[in-house]
Structure 1
Amino acid sequence: MAASYYNSTVSKPAIPEDAPSGDDLTAHHVKDKHGETVKFHNPHPSFGETLRLTAFAMGRKMIWTRLMGDMKDPDVSAVKIPTVKPTFLSPEGPPPTALRATWLGHACYFVEFPSGLRVLFDPVFEDRCSPVTWFGPRRYTPPPCAPADIPAIDAVVISHSHYDHLSHTSVSAIAARHPGAQFFVPLGLQRWFRESGIERVTEMDWWEDAELVLKAKAGGDAAAAAAAAAAEAKVQTRTPDSIAARVSCLPCQHSSGRTHNDRDHTLWASWAVSSGGKSVWFGGDTGYRAVPRVAEGVDDYGPEYEALPRCPQFAQIGRLRGPFDLGLIPIGAYKPRWIMSGMHADPRDAVEIFKDTRCRQAMGIHWGTWVLTSEDVEEPPRKLMEALKKAGIPEKGVFDTCATGESREF
């Protein structure tokens, strides 16, 4: 079990004054005749009609698309996404002077804030993102580390219930090793966590905020332990007596489900975390605009399609909560576009989301780990650079990708 120098408290989630008003707050709730929320949906036309089909109808469409040769698994036999062994700052030492973010594969990022706060987003360390260990998408890029290699975790943020974003094995291992870690999840997922034996969980709806406060344990445990470790290492420490963070559950455009009969029974979300004067927006998994089937090589952002509805929630996030120092924005799992675009952004969409949310810098997530769709697995970074160039944004240094396990400072 990892040492914890802090006790944490979380305020009751609440809608702040800078949230949208009126029907916007509950437009994503589907209610029964008694007014009780029974499931969730995407309220905007940008989600498209294809993804509103039943699970059976969607499965039939995808099988037919595969039979017609329009959805082929990419070859990963020669693929090698760069991987490095991650380095994490010691919890006994000083916090980083900048925002420090480490990509651990797919949508999983570990972020160390200048305040000393350490947050893990969408941790999945397993070989397969599947309900079983013997079937389903298998990693072609190994995880750069195990949960036990992360020395301190104060909070874990989950975007939604799909297996490539929520792993029972991973969250259980994290909770066991870091019993003080607080889990933040969208509406409907608290029950799943409690049934998994994880009690420190806060469930939130879109636009709700919660304040996370970490305070040094009574008796000076934090300061004493840090000082002792620093003396042994002959370095200075400045472990803070308390750490405060604002955690915000925000909209995105996606779906949820872990079985054949619980589709959209729990909410999906993007998240913002602010602490120590730095802020991160985590896109999780999201679409931006549903596009129709177009001929190969046709630009679905061209004149014929430029008026297609865009999800208005990202500009709303940027206006009400931005700007953000760092955006973690999905760029992969987007082909065939006519099926996937409503719920999975491609690199061009990602750049538009980047601009809408007013992120100062960004890193691409949701690629380079599992075969989930039919694009070449090394295509997303290339397409991202093309999209940045078209948008008049520098191709390097603003919205980047990195090696699995690599850390960047912002």
Structure 2
Amino acid sequence: MRLHPTSGLPRFLQSLRSCLLQSYRFIPRSLFSHSQIYYNNVVPHLSAVSSPTTTPTRMSSTQAIIASVYSASVSTPQNLSSSPEGVTNKSHHLKDGKGFTNPWPSWRDLEPFKVLKAVARNRMGPDSPGLLGPSTAPPTVPVVAPQFLPTRSTFSTEFRATWLGHACFYVEFPGGFRVLFDPVFSERCSPVQFFGPKRYTKIPCDIVDIPVVDAVVISHNHYDHLDHNTIIKLKKHHPDAWYFVPLGNKAWFTSSGVEKCIELDWWEEQDIVLTPSGSQTSAGASPSTNPNEPPLEVQTEPAEEGLKANSIAARIGCLPCQHTSARGLTDRGATLWASWSIESGGRKVYFGGDTGYRAVPPDLPKSVDDYGEEFKDLPICPAFKQIGELRGPFDVGLIPIGAYQPRWVMSPMHANPYDAVRIFVDTKCKKALGIHWGTFVLTDEPILEPPRLLKEALGKEGIEKEGVFDVLNIGETREY
């Protein structure tokens, strides 16, 4: 059994907490609830910086005021996109109506005791990362200050994706629509901020540094994807943003004071249209190139037929993935999990959120290739090919590549880089960027292994190792 040089009781407890948080995902129903836990509404300053970073330039008050504000109309599309046969059967809904499941043979449920036993055994094995988990000593993932577009225009042709750490991406669509995926800006992904998995890379900016947010899209309610502190701060600095969440999650947002929330089931869609408003504001506005345009007013009436001049339109679709949900010990599967599609300005993004692809056999040594010939018949999640055939192709996929060891434990719910490349192909993404790595230690793979294995997986599939499915530095933007 190996220990890191920095080993000690505090770090061991921290590591154990991370394992326990992962095991929540295998335990049914709720011990903790939003109303039972006290949260600090102020995101703490980060002290653990293990990679180079620069300080983001704050938006000036002039930039914040130079804004076009829109009235937002959210409605069900009249012309729905294609959906699979049998979608109305709702096979992912539990029969008692009290939760959700993964309805495919590619999913495997595990008992909590077996999960903890497997993690402990992995930590003490010959190929172990050490009792305390993988080292986060530098070098890790570089952090740079993001360079957002300070203003937006309906005539813009720029299509940009910026990684803000873990599963959080900020996407700027041509024509001005702005989306924030799975934002977590707190120091820890935990029910409390004094204990739990802590960032080993710094946040590249604060929420106030993001110029405009039209939509916040949430994949599921695990703490590394849904953070109360972050939502409260988003509500304060971006009060006009709409939130799109899987079924069962709206009540949590309502209890957090967020009213502009739409919950959707798999394969459901909503259209959102932002139309220039006629009123004025001096703060909290959505940046634009025209300082005389009016501020944002939000309305929930259905959108009028046709688009007015300078309007911004987007279609947001909730799609399947293979995962689970929980915010406590006893609410596993009580709310839905999802991947998402966003289309605006003639471009389309697929957001994988957090997902597995197939369940590999128990206790395989790390040296065994679970994509070898003997495992070719393992069931794969069929949802991704359906997504590609019915809703693709996508210009860019944001696809998870990390949190996959011990492999047999995590494989049903977390894709490794080889799975990620298959998801990329199945969903018919033209380009992709890796998410769900480089921020929190949640599992046992070395922290810089995911991008290395991604290149191997791309090469194995005959795909160029650079320029197709890439990883970014935290805070870096890729333009398409």
Pairwise CA distance, 1:12: 4.0
Equivalent-residue separation in structure 2 for 1:127 and 1:314 (angstroms): 33
Contiguous gaps of at least 5 residues in structure 2: 1-60, 294-308
- Cα separation, 2, equivalents of 1:198 and 1:220: 23
Counterparts of 2:403 and 2:110, CA distance in 1: 19
User: Matched residue of 2:478: which SS?
Assistant: strand
Q: State the alpha-carbon separation in 2 of the partners of residues 207 and 26 from structure 1.
A: 10
Contact 2:317 2:340 (8 Å CA) reproduced: yes
Structure 1 unaligned regions, length at least 5: 231-239
- 1:58 paired residue number: 115
Amino acid at match of 2:316: V
From the superposition, tell whether residues 23 and 224 of structure 1 become closer, same or farther in structure 2 (CA, over 3 Å): closer
Q: What's the counterpart of residue 181 of structure 1?
A: 241
Is 1:31 aligned to 2:88, yes or no?
no
Kindly report the root-mean-square deviation, in angstroms, between the aligned alpha carbons of the 2 structures: 2.4
Deviation at 1:241, TM superposition (A): 1.9
1:228 is aligned with what amino acid? P
Counterpart contact for 1:254–1:285, Cα < 8 Å: yes
Q: CA 1:229–1:23 in structure 2 vs 1: closer, same or farther (change >3 Å)? A: closer
Matched, 1:332 2:410: no
Tell whether the 8 Å contact from 1:7 to 1:180 is kept in structure 2 after alignment. Answer: no
Whole-angstrom distance in 1 between the partners of 2:331 and 2:240: 30
Aligned with 1:30: secondary structure?
Answer: coil
In 2, distance between residues paired with 1:220 and 1:175? 20
Compute the displacement of 1:83 (Å). Answer: 1.2
Deviation at 1:314, TM superposition (A): 0.1
Change (3 A) 1:225 1:97: closer
The CA deviation string for residues 21-71 of structure 1, in whole angstroms up to 9 with x for no partner, is 325651110021xxxx210111101112xxx13445534543454455776
2: CA distance, partners of 1:325 / 1:365: 16
Partner Cα distance (1:372, 1:25) in 2: 35
Give the residue type in structure 2 aligned to 1:398.
Answer: V
The answer to whether the Cα contact below 8 Å between 1:39 and 1:264 also exists between their aligned partners in 2 is yes
Equivalent in 279, 282, 297 of residue 367 of structure 2: 297
Q: 2:451 matched to 1:381? A: yes
TM-score (structure 2 length as normaliser): 0.78
Residue 178 (structure 2) pairs with residue 114 (structure 1): no
The question of whether the paired residues in 2 share the 8 Å contact of 1:55 and 1:260 is answered with: no
CA contact (8 A) 1:162 1:257 kept: yes
Instruction: Give the letter aligned to residue 119 of structure 2.
Output: M
Letter in 2 for 1:123: P
2:347 corresponds to 1:278: yes
What's the secondary structure of 1:272's corresponding residue?
strand
Q: How does 1:70-109 map to 2 (within 5 A)?
A: 72=129, 73-92=133-152, 96-109=156-169
Q: 1:255-291: per-residue Cα shift (whole Å, max 9, x none)?
A: 1000111111000000000001000000000000110
| Residue 8 (structure 1) aligned with residue 78 (structure 2) | no
Structure 1 residue 380 displacement after superposition: 0.5
Written as runs of structure 1 = structure 2, the 5 A alignment for 1:237-256 is 241-256=310-325
What SS does structure 2 have at the residue aligned with 1:127? coil
TM-score by length of 1: 0.91
Contact 2:342/2:348 (CA < 8 Å) preserved in 1?
yes
Aligned-partner residue type, residue 364 of structure 2:
V
1:370 is matched with 440
The percent identity for this pair of structures is 54
Quick one: distance in 2 between partners of 1:269 and 1:225? 32
- In 2, Cα distance between the equivalents of 1:14 and 1:29? 25
Please tell me the residue identity of whatever aligns with 2:337.
W
Matches within 5 A, 1:392-407: 392-407=462-477
Partner SS state of residue 102, structure 2: coil
Q: Indicate how the Cα distance of structure 1 residues 99 and 225 shifts in structure 2: closer, same or farther if over 3 A, else same.
A: closer
- What does the per-residue CA deviation read over 1:353-382, in whole Å, with 9 as the maximum and x for residues that have no partner? 000000000000001001011000001000
- 1:161–1:256 Cα contact (<8 Å) kept: yes
Matched ranges for 1:102-251 at <5 A: 102-218=162-278, 226-228=289-291, 241-251=310-320
- Taking structure 1 as reference, are residues 177 and 25 closer, same or farther at Cα in structure 2, changes over 3 Å only? farther
In the TM superposition, what is the alpha-carbon distance from 1:228 to its structure 2 partner? 3.2
CA distance 1:223–1:263, change in 2 (3 Å): closer
Among 353, 364, 368, which residue is 2:423 paired with? 353
Between the aligned partners of 1:397 and 1:17, the Cα distance in structure 2 is: 30
1:353 is paired with a residue whose SS is helix
1:213-241: per-residue Cα shift (whole Å, max 9, x none)? 111111588999743389xxxxxxxxx72
